[in-house]
Amino acid sequence: MSDAESPASAGTPSGDLDEALLSTLFSQSAVGLVVLDPQLRLVRASPAVAGEPGGELIGRRFTDVLRVEHPDDAKHLLKRVLAGEGPVRDHLVRCRPRTAARHRSYLLSAFRVDGPEALPLGLVTAVVDVTEQERERAREDCLTAVREVVGGSLDVAATCREFVDAVAPALADLAVVEVVDEVLRGADPPVGPLPPDVPVRRAASRRSGAALGGDEAAGGERGGEGGGGAGGGRTRAVGGTRRLPPRTPYALAVSDLRPRREPLGPDTPWLHADRAGARLVAETGAHSLIVVPLTLRGAILGLVSLYRCGDREPFDDDDLELAVTAVTRAALGIDNARRYEREHVVAATVQRRLLPQGDRGQAAVETAHVLLPGRDSGCWFDTIALSGARTALVVGGVAGQGLQTAVAMGQLRTVIQALSGLDLEPEEVLARLKDTADRLARERAALPPGDALQSEPLDSGCVYGIYDPFTRTCTIARAGHPAPLVVAPDGSAVAVDVPEGPGLFSADSAPFATATVTLDEGSVLAFCTSSLLPDERAATRITDTLARTGRSLQQLCDDIVYELPDDTRSNGAALLLARTGTVSEHRVVTWDLAMDATAPATARLLVRDRLQGWDRDEDTIDATELIVSELITNAVHYGHPPLRLRLLLNSTLTCEVHDGSTASPHLRHARYADEGGRGLFIVSRLAAHWGTRHGPHGKVLWTEQELPDHEGSERSRWPGGS
Does residue 375 share a domain with residue 296?
A: no
In this structure, are residues 94 and 104 in contact, taking their beta carbons and an 8 Å threshold? Answer: yes
d(CA 681, CA 233): 80
Which residues lie across from 471 on neighbouring strands? none
What local confidence, expressed as pLDDT, does residue 721 receive? 37
β-partners of residue 574 are 371
Regarding whether 677 and 646 lie in a shared domain, the answer is yes
* 293, part of any domain: yes
Q: What is the pLDDT of residue 613?
A: 92
What is the model's pLDDT at position 609? Answer: 93
Residue ranges of the chain with pLDDT lower than 50?
Answer: 1-9, 214-231, 670-677, 710-722
pLDDT of residue 278: 87
Closest CA to 38 of 137, 141, 149, 114: 114
The set of residues, in sequence order, having a beta carbon less than 8 Å from that of 239 and lying 6+ positions away, is 201, 202, 205, 216, 217, 220, 221, 222, 223
C-alpha distances in Å from residue 432, one per residue of 214, 417, 458, 476: 65, 12, 17, 15
> pTM higher than 0.75 for the full model?
no
Sheet of 120-129: strands edge to edge?
42-45, 32-36, 120-129, 104-114, 88-95
Query: Which residue among 280, 312, 343 closes a domain?
Result: 343
Total number of domains in the chain: 4
Q: Residue 309 class from Cβ within 10 Å (0-12 exposed, 13-18 middle, 19+ buried)?
A: buried
- 185 and 305: one domain? yes
The domain in which residue 196 lies consists of: 135-343
Residue 515 lies in a domain: yes
Q: What angle do CA 712, 582, 552 make, to 5 degrees?
A: 85
Per-residue model confidence (pLDDT) at position 572? 73
| 567 and 455 share one domain | yes
Strands (E), 456-550: 460-468, 473-479, 485-487, 493-495, 500-501, 515-518, 524-528
The number of angstroms, rounded, from the C-alpha of 76 to the middle of its chain's C-alpha atoms is 50
One domain for residues 403 and 442: yes
Residue 534: CATH number of its domain: 3.60.40.10
Cα–Cα distance measured from residue 135 to residue 104, given in angstroms and rounded to the nearest whole number: 10
Encode pLDDT of 514-539 as tens digits: 999 999 999 999 999 888 887 788 88
Last residue of a domain, one of 129, 163, 179: 129
Per DSSP bridges, beta strands 379-385 and 225-226 are: unpaired
